[in-house]
Amino acid sequence: MMEDQDKKWYAIYVRAKSEKKVALELDYANIDYYLPLIKVLRTWSDRKKWIEEPLFKSYIFVCVSTADYFNAINVPNAVRYISFEHKAVAIPPQQIEAIKYFLNQKEPVLSEEVDMKKGMKVEIILGEMTGLTGELIELNGKHRVKIRIDVVNKSISIVIPKSKLRVIE
């Protein structure tokens, strides 16, 4: 399992509307990937239909070792890794977990009251997203809040119990 420790998550920019095609190619090449999909109601002139479309248009996430780094970017319709100063930026696994959590919207256990206000910076201290930070943007009842987390230059909002957060001073 030494190989798995070498693997890192990266975001690949892909050609418009080819995210699912790239996912199939990555699957065929045995490369770990994650394509977050959401259900959207599309309306045409003659019908309405629920379809699955990518949460982040033109992006797909890959978990690759240095050996598969170039194999992942060389699949058809993959354009380039998201990079900073010409170096691909590794994505912390907690951010991938945050996206999965956002899409699953699990109902966590409620517990003690924590005094929080809109605009506060918070850190997740319990669960699979421990260590992620965000901004409190909405209070949802006594025990739950909505926070905004920045992932790959995009923001996602998640509803989470106050008990899983701590305020960052």
57 and 138: one domain? Answer: no
Distance CA(65)–CA(38), nearest Å, equals 28
Is 132 a member of any domain?
Answer: yes
Is residue 156 within 8 A of residue 98, CB to CB? The reply is yes
119 and 161: one domain? Answer: yes
Tokens representing residue 164 in the block? 């899983």
Nearest to 55 by CA among 158, 165, 169, 166: 158
pLDDT number for residue 69 = 95
pTM exceeding the 0.85 threshold for the entire prediction: no
Distance CA(22)–CA(9), nearest Å, equals 16
Is 97 a member of any domain?
Answer: no
6 and 76: one domain? Answer: yes
84 and 115: one domain? Answer: no
Instruction: Report the 10 Å Cβ neighbour count for 101.
Output: 21
Q: How far is CA 52 from CA 37, 42, 159, in A?
A: 6, 10, 22
pLDDT number for residue 129 = 76
pLDDT number for residue 105 = 62
Tokens representing residue 69 in the block? 């780094």
Distance CA(160)–CA(157), nearest Å, equals 10
What's the CATH number where 57 sits? 3.30.70.940
78 and 128: one domain? Answer: no
116 and 82: one domain? Answer: no
Tens digit of pLDDT for each residue in 28-83? 999 999 999 887 777 888 988 888 888 888 999 999 999 999 999 999 999 999 99
Task: Report which of residues 19 and 146 the model is more confident about.
Answer: 19
Domain boundary among 29, 62, 91: 91
Q: Tell me the CB-side half-sphere exposure of residue 51, using CA atoms within 13 A.
A: 9
20 and 85: one domain? Answer: yes
What's the CATH number where 136 sits? 2.30.30.30
70 and 147: one domain? Answer: no
Is 161 a member of any domain?
Answer: yes
Confidence of residue 114 (pLDDT cuts 50, 70, 90): low
Helix, strand, coil share (%) of the chain residues, nearest 5: 20, 40, 35
66 and 113: one domain? Answer: no
Is 160 a member of any domain?
Answer: yes
Range of the domain at 142: 104-167
pLDDT number for residue 111 = 38
DSSP bridge partners of 135 = 121, 148
Tokens representing residue 3 in the block? 């190989």
Percent of the chain with pLDDT over 90: 38
Q: Give the mean model confidence (pLDDT) for residues 122-147.
A: 81
Confidence of residue 109 (pLDDT cuts 50, 70, 90): very low
Number of structural domains, the chain? 2
